[in-house]
Amino acid sequence: MQVVNTYQIKIDQQVDPLLLNKAIYIVILHAHRVPPHIGMIIGKEYHSLTIKGHELNVSSEALMRNISQRKIASLFVEIKQHPTFSQDYLKEHFITNIRNYSKVKVGHATCLSPIKDFFEENYSLEKEQVNYLFELLPVLQEQGLIKSCSAAFIDEQDFQLPVYSLSELNDGINKANDEAAKLNKNKN
C-alpha cells in the first residue's frame, strides 16, 4: 500500500478580497504547515476555533490585512450557496458550532471540529468519515459543494496540501500552545 503524503487541490486564481464578502469559504491559513489552521468566512466575516478560544466576527478585510502583512500562505475554498439557508442563518449556525467547544485542545477539539459539525448539520455530511482537512475536501468535492479555490501567497496552480497523522496534529496543537504560553509569559 502506498502512503500518501499530500492532497492536491487545484487553485483557480489569486484571491479577490472583494469576492470574500459574497460567498462562503473554508479558509486554510499557513497552508504549508502540518497541520494548517482552518476557519470559515460566512456573511463577510471570518470565524474559527483556536488554541485561545473563539475567534468570531472578524471582518474579511481585517483577515486579508493580516494575511497580507504577514505573507501567510492561504487557500480560500469557495462552497456552493446553500439551496435553502441564507448566509446569515449559516453564519449564526457556525458560530453556535464554534461555541460548542471551549478551544482547540488535544483529545477534545481541533479547528476542524466545528466545521465538521457545520457540514453535518447543514449539508448532511457524515462527519465520522472526516478526521482531517485532507479528508474533508475530497468529500466536499464528491458532493459537488466546492465551487472554486483561490489563494494568497501561493504560486502553484496545483497545491499539495500536507497529509498528516494524529500524532503530527497533536504535536502541532502542543507546539502552538507552547508558543502562546511563551508569548503570554513575555507580556507579563
Domain ranges of the chain: 6-187
CA–CA dist 168, 14 (Å, integer): 29
CA–CA dist 110, 129 (Å, integer): 15
Q: How many angstroms separate the Cα of 149 from the Cα of each of 123, 133, 158?
A: 19, 14, 10
CA–CA dist 128, 125 (Å, integer): 9
Instruction: Note whether 49 and 37 are within 8 A (CB).
Output: no
Residue 54's nearest CA partner among 106, 125, 109, 128 is 109
Q: At what angle do helices 133-142 and 113-123 cross, to 10 degrees?
A: 20
pLDDT (tens, 9 = 90+) of the chain, 188 residues, equals 344 567 899 999 999 998 898 899 999 999 999 899 999 999 899 999 999 999 999 999 999 999 999 999 999 999 999 999 999 999 999 999 999 999 999 999 999 999 999 999 999 988 888 999 999 999 999 999 999 999 999 998 999 988 999 999 999 999 988 888 787 777 65
- Output the nine-digit C-alpha cell for 144: 459537488
Q: Which distant-in-sequence residues (6+ apart) come within 8 Å of 67 by Cβ?
A: 29, 74, 152, 153
Q: What is the pTM of this model?
A: 0.92
